[in-house]
Homo-oligomer: A and B are copies of this chain.
Amino acid sequence: MTDNRLDFAKQDGLIPVIVTDFKTGQVLMLAYMNEDSYQLTLETKQMHYWSRTRQEIWHKGATSGHYQYVQSIKADCDRDTLLAAVRQEGAACHTGAYSCFFREIYPGFGKEK
């Protein structure tokens, strides 16, 4: 497993995690894990993050019911970013949207030129 050991050093102990729907591949959100939340995720097979605003472990779904059940996790070439495929209960976004990425910047932006 040496090869897959994660590099938590680059961002003050946090690693960004890209979360996708395991069936469609749609990107749902980006969040951050510290080592503790990463270990909790592997142990429980439910996504746990580090909340940068609350400065605490964030078990996704614990208050909303919108749990994320881990189907697969990959690390990138530098071992400082994760890509997780999950089964999303309810919606990933706190706004109620299924994905957090609903604000079109471009080509919306480009059209104004």
Q: Interface on A for B, CB 8 Å cutoff?
A: 1, 3-4, 10-11, 16, 18, 20, 24-27, 29-30, 42, 45, 52, 70, 72-79, 81-83, 93-95, 97, 100-110, 112
Beyond the given A10-B52, A30-B81, please list 18 additional residue pairs across the A-B interface where CB-CB is below 8 A: A1-B109, A4-B105, A4-B109, A18-B27, A18-B30, A24-B25, A30-B76, A70-B106, A72-B107, A74-B103, A74-B104, A74-B105, A75-B105, A77-B95, A77-B97, A77-B100, A77-B102, A78-B100
B74 touches A4 (CB 8 A): no
**Docked pose: A30 CA to B78 CA in angstroms:** 11
| CB-contact partner of A103 in B18, B75, B101, B109, under 8 A | B75
| CB-contact partner of A72 in B18, B73, B93, B104, under 8 A | B104
**Docked pose: A30 CA to B97 CA in angstroms:** 23
* A38 (CB) vs chain B CBs: closest residue: B105
| CB-contact partner of A100 in B76, B94, B97, under 8 A | B76
B105 touches A27 (CB 8 A): no
